[in-house]
Structure 1
Amino acid sequence: MAKLPGNAGVSVLGDKSLEFYRDPVSFCQKRIEKHRSRVFQCRVLNRPTAFVCSVQGMRELLCDKSNVFLKDPTDLMTNMYGDTMVTTNGEEACLLRLSLTSLFTGSCLNESNDYITSVCERCLKDLSLSGQPQCVYSAFKRLGTELVLGLFMNVRAEEQPELFQEIMQLCTQHWHGLISAPVNVKVPLWSSGFSTAMEARDRLMEIIKDKLENDTQGFVGSLGSLPLPDSSSASQHLLLFISALIPKALASLLTSFTLALSGNRQARRRALEDPDYLHTVLLEVQRLWPPFIGGRRIADQDSTLAGLSVPKDYGVIYISHSVHRDPEVFQEPDNFLPERWSGRNAGQEHFLCSFGNGPRSCIGTKLNDVFLKEACMYLLKNYDWCLDPPSQDLEYKWLPVSRPANPPTIAFTRLDRTRSDGSDTS
């Protein structure tokens, strides 16, 4: 059994958290090259930590040994959301997942389709109206927020604009607590970001509890009737489902999609006409630009990953960006090649970990796919688009959600129906 390459450093002084959070992609790439290994160690969050950047290591961590590498019960997600299926471990997590999965599959999912279509049309129909280039990330984030609040809370922007705006603002404040230091300080004229986030959470919980008590329709009504362990569980999970995480993930993927096909009319035409090709495009977008950089676990006992020893109490971080570019699995890993998913990598979607993997993967993945495909099809049917100005800095930042550091602007031109029906072959 081989030792993890790298050095776990000494307490505090040897910590590399700032370097990692400043640029996680560069942080990992330098060490992969230095150690000639896609699994290595260093000290992060003042804990010896194994970094997993290979498909093999990720699959072991999240699938084969998911009962060994557990969620950290002290992390910030628990502070922000309470005990949910995302933050708990063992039997409790399994039972919560079983109870909630039905809300994201089958008839519940199908009943959402008409609403998703209507929101996509309302939010995306005016992209070309001003004649000016659009900041697409902001437009897609608004789309995601409308979808989430309408589906999960029965709060629709066009019917309850004031309540919608209040919840949207509170979700933004709450989100900022996830990316600020967990210091709950409040003094006259100033509050810490974490303190403000906790206040936003308390107000959101008031709105959520009122909804659960008084609304029997749709998702919120179904959630309220589930056999959950206690009265607070439904509220905490609904807080998780309406949080800014989902709109930001959707905005990230849609932004990357529009950038990947910007100026490429042939690829857009093919994606419009061939659902299988659109599926491969979206897989490749997810592979190259995963919305979340990865996830963290704690070793509950001595174990191994990719043949390397991981001691008990070590932290383990899988890096989705690096896993998705593992050259052992993905040839030409840095190139955008949708056709790989109908060729060499056909049927290997389970090698992606944008939304986790294995028994603890995101239960909303299918719903997210419906969101994405509906929005992408609307764009493909109705618009040509290109970068405006043509030369922009598209260097990505990866935390807390991946997107170009400088928000890109794209010019949309409304297609006439003859062209969108295929009579224009240029």
Structure 2
Amino acid sequence: MSKLPGNAGLSLLGDKSLDFYRDPVSFYRQKMDKHGGRVFQSRLLNRPTAFICSVEGMRELLSEKSNLFLKDPTDLMTNMYGDTIVTTNGEEACLLRLSLTSLFTGRCLESQRDFISSVCERCLKDLSLSGQPECVYSVFKRLGTELVLGLFLNVRAEEQPELFQEIMQLCTQHWHGLISAPVNVKVPLWSSGFSTALEARDKLMDIIKDKLENDKEGFVGSLGSLPLPDSSAASQHLLLFISALIPKAVASLLTSFTLVLGGNEQEETRRRAGEDPDYLHRVLLEVQRLWPPFIGGRRIADQDSTLAGFHVPKGNGVIYISHGVHRDPEVFEEPDNFQPERWRGRNAGQEHLLCSFGSGPRSCIGSKLADIFLKDVCMYLLKHYDWCLDPPSQDLEYKWLPVSRPADPPTVSFTRLDQTRSDESDTS
């Protein structure tokens, strides 16, 4: 058993949280170079913290030793969402997962396919009409919001536009508070972001509770009938499921998909992905590998343990960095290159080594639903459009927090495939 490389620093003075949150990718890469390995320690949120950037360490943390490394009961997610499947530990988390799993599998998923297709059609059918480039992240975030509010809350944008707009604004306010300093201050003419988020949460909870009492259809009705631990559990989980977190994750991955498959040089890749669902699956795995929507996740050691051969004392933090794990050269050859074929070759059957949505027994319960979202949207785009960056020269440098995407929102021009074929026919 070895001591973790690096220095956890002194309390407060040695904290590196600002450095990490300013640019987490540069932070972990500099530390790896300095310490000569993919596991090291520093001080994060004023707690000695092991940083895990290897597949081996991630698998130990999230799968083999998941019972030894727990969610932090004092983190901001608990403040904003309460006790949910994401924030609880131990038996409570297991029971919640057992109760909720049925809503995200089998018939419940398949019953939503028509709605997902209708949202794709409504949000994406006019991408080429204006003749102007589109800010794709905004387009996809709106699409993700329509999907989430329609599926989880039975609020359809075309049927209840005012209620939809109100909930969308409240979710945005709630989200901004989630990523702000947890300081609850309210004075005349000014409120802190966290205070505004708490107010938005209370208003959302009123809407959610009304839905649970009066709407017995779809996801809302099914959730209300589940054997959950207390009366507040259903409303807290609905708050989590309709939060801005999911639309932003969907928008992140779809933006990366659009960017990597854009332009004339990727025309054959787009054609192949549109004709072969297995190839589209490999493309999306590679998009998720290289541009994970979330930078990672954090745990607290419940007892002395080891990760990747290094000692982690009880009470220390551990954070896995998905961006680093997904680029571990021990597992992924040429890790910085976009190579969908790797998932039919050396990495076939190794999807579980990705951790964008967690991994192991605490992985995201909605990952199958997200997969359906993404594939349906991507297939719609591939069947109906060609696209390219417009203007062709843009700064695509990514920012990684709170959700990954280019720091400067990219703009893309879309051309309908039927129009392209018509133009080619006229030319000939």
- Letter paired with 2:132: Q
Identify the residue that residue 70 of structure 1 maps to in structure 2: 70
* SS of 2:49 mapped into structure 1: strand
Whether 1:48 and 2:29 are equivalent positions in the alignment is: no
Give distance in 2, aligned partners of 1:312 and 1:235: 34
Give distance in 1, aligned partners of 2:361 and 2:55: 16
- Structure 2 unaligned residues grouped into runs of 5+: none
Identify the residue that residue 367 of structure 1 maps to in structure 2: 369
Identify the residue that residue 213 of structure 1 maps to in structure 2: 213
Give distance in 2, aligned partners of 1:418 and 1:358: 45
Residues 25-69 of structure 1 show CA distances to partners (whole Å, capped at 9, x for unaligned) of 000000111111101000010000000000000000000000000
How do residues 141-180 of structure 1 correspond to structure 2 at under 5 angstroms? Answer: 141-180=141-180
* SS of 2:48 mapped into structure 1: strand
Identify the residue that residue 120 of structure 2 maps to in structure 1: 120
Identify the residue that residue 255 of structure 1 maps to in structure 2: 255
Give distance in 2, aligned partners of 1:411 and 1:362: 33
Relative to structure 1, the CA distance from residue 418 to residue 196 in structure 2 (aligned partners, 3 Å threshold; closer, same or farther) is closer
Shift of residue 384, structure 1, vs aligned partner:
0.5
TM-score (norm 2): 0.98
Identify the residue that residue 415 of structure 1 maps to in structure 2: 417
Identify the residue that residue 333 of structure 1 maps to in structure 2: 335
Whether 1:57 and 2:57 are equivalent positions in the alignment is: yes
Give distance in 2, aligned partners of 1:201 and 1:418: 47
Give distance in 2, aligned partners of 1:419 and 1:94: 53
* SS of 1:371 mapped into structure 2: helix
Aligned residue pair count: 424
Give distance in 2, aligned partners of 1:231 and 1:136: 40
Give distance in 1, aligned partners of 2:151 and 2:18: 38
* SS of 1:280 mapped into structure 2: helix
Whether 1:98 and 2:98 are equivalent positions in the alignment is: yes
Identify the residue that residue 25 of structure 2 maps to in structure 1: 25
Match of 1:320 among 311, 319, 322: 322
Give distance in 2, aligned partners of 1:157 and 1:402: 26
Shift of residue 81, structure 1, vs aligned partner:
0.1
* SS of 1:227 mapped into structure 2: coil
Residues 6-41 of structure 1 show CA distances to partners (whole Å, capped at 9, x for unaligned) of 000000000000000000000000011111110100
Identify the residue that residue 39 of structure 2 maps to in structure 1: 39
Identify the residue that residue 238 of structure 2 maps to in structure 1: 238
* SS of 1:50 mapped into structure 2: strand
Identify the residue that residue 196 of structure 1 maps to in structure 2: 196
Identify the residue that residue 84 of structure 2 maps to in structure 1: 84
Shift of residue 417, structure 1, vs aligned partner:
7.8
- Letter paired with 2:184: N
Give distance in 1, aligned partners of 2:313 and 2:7: 13
Give distance in 2, aligned partners of 1:72 and 1:222: 29
Match of 2:378 among 376, 379, 382: 376
- Letter paired with 1:211: K
- Letter paired with 2:253: L
Match of 1:269 among 268, 271, 276: 271
Give distance in 1, aligned partners of 2:42 and 2:110: 46
Identify the residue that residue 282 of structure 2 maps to in structure 1: 280
Give distance in 2, aligned partners of 1:152 and 1:12: 42
* SS of 2:43 mapped into structure 1: strand
Shift of residue 87, structure 1, vs aligned partner:
0.3
Give distance in 1, aligned partners of 2:86 and 2:390: 40
Give distance in 2, aligned partners of 1:341 and 1:408: 28
* SS of 1:416 mapped into structure 2: helix
Give distance in 2, aligned partners of 1:34 and 1:340: 30
Whether 1:358 and 2:364 are equivalent positions in the alignment is: no
Shift of residue 419, structure 1, vs aligned partner:
4.7
Give distance in 1, aligned partners of 2:360 and 2:215: 34
Whether 1:6 and 2:6 are equivalent positions in the alignment is: yes
TM-score (norm 1): 0.98
Shift of residue 178, structure 1, vs aligned partner:
1.2
- Structure 1 unaligned residues grouped into runs of 5+: none
Give distance in 1, aligned partners of 2:260 and 2:365: 27
Shift of residue 177, structure 1, vs aligned partner:
1.1
Seq. identity, %:
85
Residues 192-235 of structure 1 show CA distances to partners (whole Å, capped at 9, x for unaligned) of 00000000000000000000000000000000000001100000
Whether 1:291 and 2:284 are equivalent positions in the alignment is: no
How do residues 304-319 of structure 1 correspond to structure 2 at under 5 angstroms? Answer: 304-319=306-321
Shift of residue 396, structure 1, vs aligned partner:
0.1
Give distance in 2, aligned partners of 1:71 and 1:87: 6
Residues 285-320 of structure 1 show CA distances to partners (whole Å, capped at 9, x for unaligned) of 000000000000000000000000000000000000
- Letter paired with 1:134: E
Give distance in 1, aligned partners of 2:344 and 2:276: 13
For the aligned residue pairs, the C-alpha RMSD in angstroms reads 1.5
Moved over 3 A (4+): 417-420
Give distance in 2, aligned partners of 1:29 and 1:397: 15
Give distance in 2, aligned partners of 1:384 and 1:262: 8
Residues 248-267 of structure 1 show CA distances to partners (whole Å, capped at 9, x for unaligned) of 00000000000010111110
Give distance in 2, aligned partners of 1:268 and 1:88: 41
Give distance in 2, aligned partners of 1:360 and 1:382: 37
